[in-house]
Amino acid sequence: MPMERLHIAFFGPANSGKSTLVNALCGQEVSLVSPVPGTTTDPVRKTVELPGLGACVLIDTAGLDDASLLGPERRRRTLAVLDETDIAVVLSPSVIPSEASVSHLLALLESSSIPIVQYTRGESIESLMERLRAVAPKQEERFLTGNLVKAGDCVMLVMPQDSEAPKGRLILPQVQVLRELLDRGCNALCCTPESLASALKRVTPDLVITDSQVFGLVNRALPSSIPLTSFSVLLAGAKGDLRTFVEGASAIDRLQPGDRVLIAEACTHVPDTEDIGRVKIPALLRKKADIKVDIAAGNDFPEDRTPYQLIIHCGGCVATRTLVQSRIKKALRAGVPITNYGIAIAKLQGILERIALP
Ligand code: SF4
């Protein structure tokens, strides 16, 4: 899996110089700078290559002490940024510990494992960079395919190219898995569900990786001796926590009429009529019991998770491991089981035991 971009978020009261600092690090005007407090309203993200840190996403946030009518909503969005933060830069000395919202942020940061860098106005960019490099978490190299493959294996990828597939391209997890298989010295063979039967007549693969949406269909076409997994299950291993997700999926058996399930998507996208999170998984769940399904997209992961009997998270293909890990912790802290799309679909189709886990 490619190295993930380090997410560095800048926090502090309005007009404490966050935007000026982000602009200085980027060497260009990314955020509007003005002496008027509260110029930055929603978090502003900029991807930049920083010496010694590689590709980073700098996140400029709204002032935590925003007193406008929209203030509480902006504060909520600012604090939601913590889920994706690898390093928090807190601007001082304007940070006044008695300022309730800033104290709240500092308390949240201290209770998390997010490294904090306090920045004092006037400090040089070189000195800040040095401190950022010193606290930057080391990234381990992770393979999406884990221990499921070895050099020389033949891996068959089943990728539906129907109306839901983006026109003219493959989706990110498919591209990443293909590249990884080549890097690991495997032979990759691509087919669609329609051409699977003819592909299986030609070769007997060591592993089949499919889109979770066609898990049932591929499973029926495949001899049980051939290991089967999905792109979403691979993401569960690389970004999430397989054990937690498999345990979480067992909550599906306990769902009762009237229970609530949260479908959490890590990004916002325009759903189509066959959307996996909004249409297909809810339909499978409702076959089990008359339950209520809520959707949370992008940064709108709800602060109160307790109304839910289960959270089903997307694969998080464009999210970082930090974000998915943070959501797992939040769910478990609220005592709510959490699983992901691929594992939930395998469970709902009664084939979870048959699925190869990385
Ligand atoms: S981040 Fe999640 S919701 Fe967005 S495209 Fe990837 S799997 Fe789908």
**Mutate-to-test residue for ligand 1 from 268, 311, 313, 317, highest number of ligand atoms within 8 A of CB:** 317
Q: For the chain, what's the residue count?
A: 358
Helix (H), strand (E) at residue 155: strand 154-158
Q: How far is the CA of 314 from the centre of ligand 1 (A)?
A: 6
Buried b (16+ CB within 10 A) or exposed e, 302-339: eeebeebbbbbbbbbbebbbbbbbbbbbbbbebebbbb
Question: Which of the pair, 153 or 92, is modelled with greater confidence?
Answer: 153
Mean pLDDT confidence for 44-48: 92
* Residues 215-254: tens digit of each pLDDT: 999 999 999 999 999 999 999 999 999 999 999 999 999 9
Ligand 1 atom nearest to 235, measured from its CA: 7
Q: 289 or 335: whose pLDDT is higher?
A: 335
More confident residue, 199 or 298: 199
Q: How far is the CA of 174 from the centre of ligand 1 (A)?
A: 13
Q: Which of 102-106, 179-183, 277-281, 332-336 has the least mean pLDDT?
A: 102-106
Nearest atom in ligand 1 to the alpha carbon of residue 232 is 7
79 by DSSP, 3-state: which?
A: helix
Q: Can you tell me which atom of ligand 1 is nearest the CA of 317?
A: 6
Q: State which CATH number among 3.40.50.11420, 3.40.50.720, 3.10.110.10, 1.10.10.10 fits the domain covering 146-233.
A: 3.40.50.11420
Which of 317, 319, 311 has its CA nearest to residue 86? 319
Domain 6-135 of CATH type 1.10.3720.10: no
Report the pLDDT averaged over residues 81-106: 75
Query: Residue 70 has what pLDDT?
Result: 62
Residue-level pLDDT at 95: 46
Rg (CA), the chain: 22
Phi, psi dihedral angles at 27 (to 5 degrees): 70, 20
| Mutate which of 144, 175, 314 for ligand 1 pocket (most atoms within 8 A of beta carbon) | 314
In order of 133, 192, 266, 300, the CA distances from 294 in angstroms are 40, 31, 14, 12
% of the chain surpassing 90 pLDDT:
67
* Lowest pLDDT segment from 69-73, 299-303, 309-313, 318-322: 69-73
Q: For ligand 1, which residues put their CB under 6 angstroms from it?
A: 265-267, 269, 314-319
| Count of C-beta atoms within a 10 Å radius of residue 14 | 20
Sign of the Cα torsion 262, 266, 327, 157 reads: positive
Which residue, by CA, sits nearest to atom 4 of ligand 1? 267
Residues 6+ apart with CB under 8 A from 226: 204, 205, 206, 207, 208
Three-state DSSP state, 240: coil
Distance 267 CA to ligand 1 centre (A): 6
96-122: buried (b, 16+ CB within 10 Å) or exposed (e) per residue? Answer: eeebebbeebbeebeeeebbbbebeee
**Could you tell me which residue, 231 or 268, shows the higher pLDDT?**
231
Beta carbons within 10 angstroms of residue 163's beta carbon: 9
**So where are the chain's domains?**
6-135, 146-233, 242-353
Same fold, 6-135 and 242-353: yes
Structure tokens at 103: 């104290």
Please report which confidence band the pLDDT of residue 32 belongs to, taking 50, 70 and 90 as the band edges: low
* Record: fold of 242-353: Rossmann fold (3.40.50)
**For residue 261, pLDDT beyond 60:** yes
Check residues 77 and 100 and name the one with the higher pLDDT. 77
Instruction: Assess whether pLDDT exceeds 50 at residue 8.
Output: yes
Query: Whole-angstrom Cα distance, residue 351 to residue 208?
Result: 14
261 residue type, one letter: V
Read off the pTM.
0.85
